[in-house]
Amino acid sequence: MQISSRFTIATHMLIIIALEGKKTKVTSDFLAASVGVNPVIIRKTLSQLKNAELISVARGTGGTEILKDLQDISLFDVYQAVECLGKSGKLFSFHDNPNPNCPVGANIHEVLDQKLLDIQEAMENQLRQTSLAQVVADAEARIAK
């Protein structure tokens, strides 16, 4: 199992908007060309970022801008905007029917549940500690090389 690419797509998009938005109109086609996905995926992600009040999107003529200071947007904010953890809010899902007659199956939740919650919490805390400003600065530095 792998975490979906929605988070990295959204982060890629926000970096482009931050770097190019002042110089050029950043449209879904422009973003799709850089990300390498269908513009429909870009538009869905733009909608999620807009609903999270991270960006504004101009209708008709197009164009996107970031609404907050980059330092005030964490990667956790981006993750929350686009990742659908479902009603459980859990990153890891469990198989539905562990066998209660099996010693492992009967105890698997007690063995893993807290560990998986701790892992999710650690990951989310790392995302909270990284700002979009840091990621944009890293991208600018790599591009300049």
Number of domains in the chain: 1
> What pLDDT band is residue 1 in, cutting at 50, 70 and 90?
very low
| 45 within domain boundaries | yes
Cα torsion 67, 73, 77, 83: sign: positive
Q: What is the pLDDT of residue 67?
A: 96
Whole-Å CA distances, 87 to 50, 61, 83, 127, 138: 21, 36, 12, 21, 34
Q: At what angle do helices 6-20 and 28-35 cross, to 10 degrees?
A: 120
- 1 domain residue, yes or no: no
Sign of the alpha-carbon dihedral angle for 105, 107, 109, 114: negative
Confidence (pTM): 0.88
pLDDT one-digit tens code per residue, 57-91: 987 777 899 999 999 999 999 999 997 676 677 88
> Is residue 127 a part of any domain in this protein?
yes
> pLDDT for 21-34, tens place per residue?
888 999 999 999 99
Contact 4, 37 (CB under 8 A): no
Residue pLDDT, tens place only, 92-135: 888 888 999 999 999 999 999 999 999 999 999 999 999 999 99
Domain of 56 in residue numbering reads as: 6-144
Return the pLDDT at 84. 66
Residue 13 lies in a domain: yes
User: Exposed, middle or buried, 92 (CB in 10 Å: 0-12/13-18/19+)?
Assistant: middle
Q: What is the CATH classification number for the domain harbouring 128?
A: 1.10.10.10
Q: What does the radius of gyration of the chain's CA atoms come to, in whole angstroms?
A: 19
